Amino acid sequence: MLEAKGLYSYYGKSPILQDVAFSVEQGGFLGIVGRNGVGKTTLLRTIMGLTDRATGQLSFDGESLLAMRTPRRAGAGIAYIPQGREVIPRFTVRENLLMGMFPRKDRSRTIPEHIFELFPILAEFIDRRGGDLSGGQQQQLAIGRALAMDPKILLLDEPTEGIQPNIVQQLEDVMRRLNKEMGLTIVLVEQNTRFVRQTADNFVLLDKGRVALRGRGEELTSDVVDQYLAL
């Protein structure tokens, strides 16, 4: 479904990603790991067309993404949840969810019920402003907003950052359900390697903008973490 070969991505003249290659099959779950500053967020932003320039090959559903503007990528079914969530604080939960529906090809403005099944707190707080929610609740809202567009693939950047442990466990359960039961393709950037090991089919480890290691999710062992990720 999503494939990159020889991918370079730039901010200004500086290549942040260099010769990156990976692939994600439909219904797959890819974890992206690495130390801070190695290009993980840049990779997701490149998929969404949010860097200054990208070269090489990057395709989604067999169609090249590099010539597409960001709104067209969203319309093609790519949903992106950035680090920091970017919930609109003055909008209610309902309004935030409705914002996520604008890329839908069917033009539906009826919030899908499965979002409230996955995140019951959103139904309870449907008329509460996004800025009044806790960090964990905002993360649930951000994921719900992305799901409202009925995506083919979900890109998540550090969803467990600053989240209380019980919500992290809930997010893990939701990610597994979305992927395994609903067949949603997921690409996850995450510092929590246990979370990646528990949820992802495969992982790619970035170092200085390049792929340093790849493998099955269960192969993201403590030895790998000590070798590549320990400070």
Task: State how many domains the chain has.
Answer: 1
| 3-class SS of residue 156 | strand
Instruction: Judge whether 90 and 129 are in contact, CB under 8 Å.
Output: yes
In-domain check, residue 118: no
Asked if pLDDT for residue 218 goes beyond 80, the answer is: yes
**Domain assignment present for 145:** no
23-52: pLDDT as tens digits: 999 999 999 999 999 999 999 999 999 999
Summarised one tens digit per residue, pLDDT across range 150-180 is 999 999 999 998 888 989 999 999 999 999 9
Domain assignment of residue 189, yes or no: yes
The pLDDT, as a whole number, for residue 78 is 97
Token pair, residue 172, equals 């893990």
Residue 192 lies in a domain: yes
Residue 200: inside a domain: yes
Instruction: Give the relative orientation of helices 165-176 and 135-147 as an angle to the nearest 10 degrees.
Output: 20
The CATH number assigned to the domain holding 15 equals 3.40.50.300
Residue percentage of the chain with pLDDT more than 70: 100
- Which pLDDT value is given to residue 108? 85
> Residue 231: its pLDDT value, please?
61
Integer Cα distance of 83 and 97 in angstroms: 18
On whether residue 105 sits in a domain, the answer given is no
Average pLDDT of the chain to the nearest whole number: 94
Q: Which domain holds residue 182?
A: 2-84+154-229
